[in-house]
Amino acid sequence: MGRKITFEEFRRIIAEELDVDESQVVPEASFVEDLLADSIRLVEMMLRLEEMGITIPVDVAWEVRTVGDAYRFYAEQVGGRTGP
């Protein structure tokens, strides 16, 4: 994995992939309920994150419900927090 990315960078990626305003991408936002992501968008987002070296295994992905869940998982994998 490359350098650690901040929450701001992470939220920018999510906003681009889900085609939502960055202001909607907050830690408590649900991917499905708040950001209206369907399964195809979620897979595309996961692929984009993987391209950046952020891998969320399938068994864990089912437990990731919010933006904060996803970022916390990422931060734990890189050994520290760099945001929410």
**8-state DSSP, 53:** T
Torsion 47-51-21-75 (CA) sign: positive
Terminal CA-to-CA distance of the chain, rounded, Å? 20
Q: Is 38 a catalytic residue?
A: yes
Active-site residue identified among 19, 21, 38, 69: 38
**Residues tagged active-site:** 38
